[in-house]
Chain A
């Protein structure tokens, strides 16, 4: 066929216009998707152009326009050299159409399809699907047999079906295998809009597509005939009609003039008119365009309902509007222009047939292909990659907003406020980053401040917390409070609950009352402070080993007021004063101890150390004996009691001699418990409780004295050596006796002196000596109490003021004789007899026969005392019993001599042996 130069110019020019639609598609798609995927979308558009062009040349063109094989496909050279110029121009024109169809897919599957998978899909489309369908509809355009659809009379002028819906069918199959984008559809069925990165860019893209459509439709006649003008006109009208119809209806339906309505509406109109632009009139074109827009709307809604995620609504635009446009050819196309010779009905049927067959074939093959391919290599990117964005994931390319995103993500994960986002100057992302950094600066400042406050709370030793109106602790408190209250959980707990484990109920009750007053704004603070029950309060913490530890805390309260005067909170400071107060108490105790010790020490300094040591030894032994009587009691209660009595009496006496008054008093108390027990009808062990208490007290005293003595001795040992050589020894026993006599006498306003007349001190040694001293003590007491008269009386009787007691010792063969004599009243038998009668010891008649001898004997009877007022010292009638015992123990013999009014004399003969008989 001969083609004019003008035809050549026209076909090449319009082919170029169709080429520019690639740019339009690129802009529309990248404008309607998110910027994190923008690079990926754009590069897909360019890449699929290259691939489709290559494949169309290698095999597609031959399949589509080669000599037909049964009208199904064409066949000629692969990778041909197109020598015929018209063929070359024709190829160029047709290749642009193929690329258009291929590039439709990229928009729909955007933001989650793997780049590699997309390219393979493009190869399928441009190498197989498009050439086949293209052959069916347009085969034979270069000459030769027509494709079978064309032979049937199917008309698709510029490719509403062949190009547009074909691409969309492939996209649909891919979408079904891919699945929707993350976050596009919620569980509850709602559809979440995913906004594009730049609508202005999308708008420009649409304009470019429209621009390209001039060539798309205008060049499909393959010649520049007058008819082209009308075709182009109708194309423009349909686009406008589609836009307006969509905008109008959409505005009413969605209450807003959404951008997509305008964009997709125009495209839908253009796609719809593409099938029959040559055979419609203007009104028809408008109608077809308008309905195309509405069909697109419906299609978009349907997809959403079916939860099919088409990222740019490519399927509603290219498939739905495309199918409509193809059908519209049958409905409105002028038959004379269609030139198929079919009736309207038949034409419609053929149109439908074409639509269906195309859809079936393309969709099925694509679906099978993608499904199988997906099994070998997933066509969808990973979740993480989709979230990160395909720019980064597929191409390793980042936009500057991505760096901001990365910084923010890192900060969200680590909480590290020192990070700052990189600022790309002159970019929107850079502006955002700059503002973000400013916000971070401010945040960091206030965080540092908070960090300082928290530092204080963490390290302060006192407990610090706030109490709200519900008496509950606030969220922030000092770390030390956990140890102070021995408790993990403190925030939000009431103060009552927090202190329950270590504060007794009464104190807590007082605390509650105090808090009520503290929160009452009408009560002045000074008054409130005065009733703080928790100043230096004693608390007890369970130490979990069976006992309690005492701690002393001090709670200080402060009101925190609102501007209107009401009390918002109380601030509480808790100080642990345990150590301080225990120290003070210890100091006080030590001071008291020191005082007592000094008193004791002063007394002890007057006592001869050896005497004291002896005393301590014997006192210890006696008290242990008493305790032993309790621990292992002899069965005879009477004996037991007597023994206890004797021991305590001994201690008492000894203590008195050396002047330890307190100890003597204590021993007396113990001693006096015995008669009570003796008088009782029945003896129970409980009755001995007072005794054991007294016993322990006495033990304590003795131990104290012993300790002090040991301390003193160790100090003074050195001094002693330096001073006189040896300490005075034996004479001091007598000195003690003498002093005791003087002291006792003074108590009864008498004067008594002790004298020695060749007295052998040695007999006062050892245990025998102890017994002798015991006896002498009793004698002295007896003399002071009974014997010696008061000075006035003595003078009356012609005696010296002071009474004299003379001690004498004589050495006799086998024994030692001890003579004790006082110059007092002596024995008055009748006095003694009378007292004995009173005591019921003898009868009145017997009393008349009492002589001095009998009187003396009476004196030694237990319980006998002729004293009127017995006191601690004498008069209880027991001293003599002790004497008797001692004498027995010594194995000695006692004689009494007396001249009434003149003297009383005791003579004791003690056998030589050192052994002392135990009674």
Chain B
């Protein structure tokens, strides 16, 4: 894992937020993930394969998603299933953007969405896993990157 690659992945995510909402998403201090789950309410998981293997997930809570949905739809959304789909869409778009950036190096899979504290998500990511906190409109979320 190189610094460029880390930056690349982070940028895809922060740019995405900016492009949709006009407001930048800001990363916090990166750190190494310890044991224990750090998942929010919804998590989008993207598998990576090819020359190196591992995965990335983006996890966040309801507040961010509800505000995000509000921006897209123009009205308040509380429905669980809708938010689930929204996470899927977000992750899909991010995965697509990752493919554009890294497509020649890695195979980026079709993402899947998980709800709640899923325990075996760590199996998809190869340690060491870096956690990048991402703040958007004061809402917390983070990106976990675990690639060989």
Instruction: Report which A residues bind B (CB closer than 8 A).
Output: 540, 542, 545-550, 627-628, 630-631, 633, 685-686, 688-690, 692-693, 695-696, 699-700
Please state if A688 and B111 are interface contacts (CB–CB under 8 Å).
no
Per-residue interface assignment for chain B, residues 127 to 148, with 1 indicating a CB less than 8 Å from any chain A CB and 0 otherwise = 0101100000000000000000
B116 at the interface (CB under 8 A from A): no
A696 CA to B2 CA, complexed, in Å: 12
Q: Shortest distance in angstroms between A882's beta carbon and chain B's nearest beta carbon?
A: 25
Q: Which B residues, 46 to 62, have Cβ-Cβ distances below 8 Å to chain A?
A: 46-50, 53, 55
Chain A residues closer than 8 Å to B53, beta-carbon distance: 547, 550
B29 at the interface (CB under 8 A from A): yes
Q: Shortest distance in angstroms between B136's beta carbon and chain A's nearest beta carbon?
A: 14
B86 at the interface (CB under 8 A from A): no
Contacts A/B (CB < 8 Å), 26 sampled: A540-B49, A546-B45, A547-B47, A547-B49, A548-B49, A548-B50, A548-B107, A627-B32, A627-B34, A628-B31, A630-B30, A630-B31, A685-B29, A685-B30, A688-B30, A689-B3, A689-B30, A692-B30, A692-B31, A692-B130, A693-B3, A693-B6, A695-B32, A696-B32, A696-B128, A696-B130
Please state if A550 and B45 are interface contacts (CB–CB under 8 Å).
no
A630 CA to B29 CA, complexed, in Å: 6
Identify A548's interface contact among B2, B34, B45, B109, CB under 8 A.
B109
Please state if A546 and B47 are interface contacts (CB–CB under 8 Å).
yes
Chain B residues closer than 8 Å to A690, beta-carbon distance: 3
A540 CA to B106 CA, complexed, in Å: 11
B99 at the interface (CB under 8 A from A): no
> What would 6 more interface pairs be, CB under 8 Å, given A540-B107, A695-B32?
A546-B112, A547-B47, A547-B53, A630-B30, A685-B29, A693-B1
B124 at the interface (CB under 8 A from A): yes
Among B26, B55, B110, chain A packs the most CB atoms within 10 A around the CB of: B110
Chain A residues closer than 8 Å to B31, beta-carbon distance: 627-628, 630-631, 692, 695
Q: Shortest distance in angstroms between A453's beta carbon and chain B's nearest beta carbon?
A: 38
Please state if A685 and B27 are interface contacts (CB–CB under 8 Å).
yes
Q: Shortest distance in angstroms between A717's beta carbon and chain B's nearest beta carbon?
A: 27
A550 CA to B111 CA, complexed, in Å: 18
Main secondary structure of the interface of A (DSSP, over half): helix
Q: Shortest distance in angstroms between A672's beta carbon and chain B's nearest beta carbon?
A: 15
Closest to B46 in A: A546
Identify B49's interface contact among A550, A628, A688, A689, CB under 8 A.
A550
Please state if A545 and B128 are interface contacts (CB–CB under 8 Å).
no
Per-residue interface assignment for chain B, residues 20 to 45, with 1 indicating a CB less than 8 Å from any chain A CB and 0 otherwise = 00000011111110100000000001
A61 CA to B145 CA, complexed, in Å: 114
Please state if A546 and B111 are interface contacts (CB–CB under 8 Å).
yes
Q: Shortest distance in angstroms between B82's beta carbon and chain A's nearest beta carbon?
A: 21
Please state if A689 and B47 are interface contacts (CB–CB under 8 Å).
no
Closest to A542 in B: B109
A688 CA to B107 CA, complexed, in Å: 27
Instruction: Report which B residues bind A (CB closer than 8 A).
Output: 1-3, 6-7, 10, 26-32, 34, 45-50, 53, 55, 107, 109-112, 124, 128, 130-131
A550 CA to B106 CA, complexed, in Å: 12
Chain A residues closer than 8 Å to B10, beta-carbon distance: 686
Chain B residues closer than 8 Å to A550, beta-carbon distance: 49, 53
Identify B47's interface contact among A548, A628, A693, A696, CB under 8 A.
A548
A593 CA to B99 CA, complexed, in Å: 33
Q: Shortest distance in angstroms between A688's beta carbon and chain B's nearest beta carbon?
A: 5
A696 CA to B127 CA, complexed, in Å: 9
A690 CA to B1 CA, complexed, in Å: 11
Q: Shortest distance in angstroms between A283's beta carbon and chain B's nearest beta carbon?
A: 102
Given contacts A546-B110, A547-B55, A696-B128, contact A631 B29 (CB under 8 A): yes
Q: Shortest distance in angstroms between A697's beta carbon and chain B's nearest beta carbon?
A: 8
Chain A residues closer than 8 Å to B47, beta-carbon distance: 545-548
Closest to B114 in A: A546
Closest to A628 in B: B31
Chain B residues closer than 8 Å to A696, beta-carbon distance: 32, 128, 130
Please state if A547 and B124 are interface contacts (CB–CB under 8 Å).
yes
Closest to A687 in B: B29
Identify A547's interface contact among B1, B6, B7, B109, CB under 8 A.
B109
Q: Shortest distance in angstroms between B25's beta carbon and chain A's nearest beta carbon?
A: 12
A685 CA to B3 CA, complexed, in Å: 13
Please state if A540 and B50 are interface contacts (CB–CB under 8 Å).
yes
Chain A residues closer than 8 Å to B26, beta-carbon distance: 685
Q: Shortest distance in angstroms between A184's beta carbon and chain B's nearest beta carbon?
A: 64
Closest to B2 in A: A693
Among B32, B50, B112, chain A packs the most CB atoms within 10 A around the CB of: B32
A628 CA to B34 CA, complexed, in Å: 10
Q: Shortest distance in angstroms between B74's beta carbon and chain A's nearest beta carbon?
A: 31
Please state if B107 and A685 are interface contacts (CB–CB under 8 Å).
no
Chain B residues closer than 8 Å to A692, beta-carbon distance: 29-32, 130
Please state if A545 and B32 are interface contacts (CB–CB under 8 Å).
no
A693 CA to B6 CA, complexed, in Å: 9
A17 CA to B90 CA, complexed, in Å: 105
Q: Shortest distance in angstroms between B87's beta carbon and chain A's nearest beta carbon?
A: 13
7 shortest interchain CB distances as A-B pairs? A547-B47, A548-B49, A630-B31, A696-B128, A546-B112, A692-B30, A631-B31
Closest to B123 in A: A547
Chain A residues closer than 8 Å to B46, beta-carbon distance: 546
Chain A residues closer than 8 Å to B32, beta-carbon distance: 627, 630, 692, 695-696, 699
Please state if A545 and B112 are interface contacts (CB–CB under 8 Å).
yes
A631 CA to B50 CA, complexed, in Å: 31
Chain B residues closer than 8 Å to A545, beta-carbon distance: 47, 112
Given contacts A546-B111, A693-B1, A696-B128, contact A633 B50 (CB under 8 A): no
Chain B residues closer than 8 Å to A542, beta-carbon distance: 109-110
Q: Shortest distance in angstroms between A619's beta carbon and chain B's nearest beta carbon?
A: 15
Chain B residues closer than 8 Å to A549, beta-carbon distance: 49
Q: Shortest distance in angstroms between B117's beta carbon and chain A's nearest beta carbon?
A: 18
Q: Shortest distance in angstroms between A479's beta carbon and chain B's nearest beta carbon?
A: 28
Closest to B112 in A: A546
Q: Shortest distance in angstroms between B12's beta carbon and chain A's nearest beta carbon?
A: 14
Closest to B103 in A: A504
Please state if A689 and B109 are interface contacts (CB–CB under 8 Å).
no
A631 CA to B28 CA, complexed, in Å: 9
A311 CA to B46 CA, complexed, in Å: 80
A610 CA to B53 CA, complexed, in Å: 38
A688 CA to B46 CA, complexed, in Å: 24
A671 CA to B31 CA, complexed, in Å: 16
Please state if B48 and A547 are interface contacts (CB–CB under 8 Å).
yes
Identify B128's interface contact among A547, A630, A700, CB under 8 A.
A700
Chain B residues closer than 8 Å to A546, beta-carbon distance: 45-47, 55, 109-112, 124
A547 CA to B53 CA, complexed, in Å: 9
Given contacts A546-B46, A547-B48, A550-B49, contact A686 B27 (CB under 8 A): yes
Chain A residues closer than 8 Å to B30, beta-carbon distance: 630, 685, 688-689, 692
Closest to B110 in A: A546
Chain A residues closer than 8 Å to B124, beta-carbon distance: 546-547
Closest to A506 in B: B104
Please state if B128 and A699 are interface contacts (CB–CB under 8 Å).
yes
Chain A residues closer than 8 Å to B130, beta-carbon distance: 692-693, 696
Chain A residues closer than 8 Å to B112, beta-carbon distance: 545-546
Closest to A548 in B: B49
A545 CA to B114 CA, complexed, in Å: 12
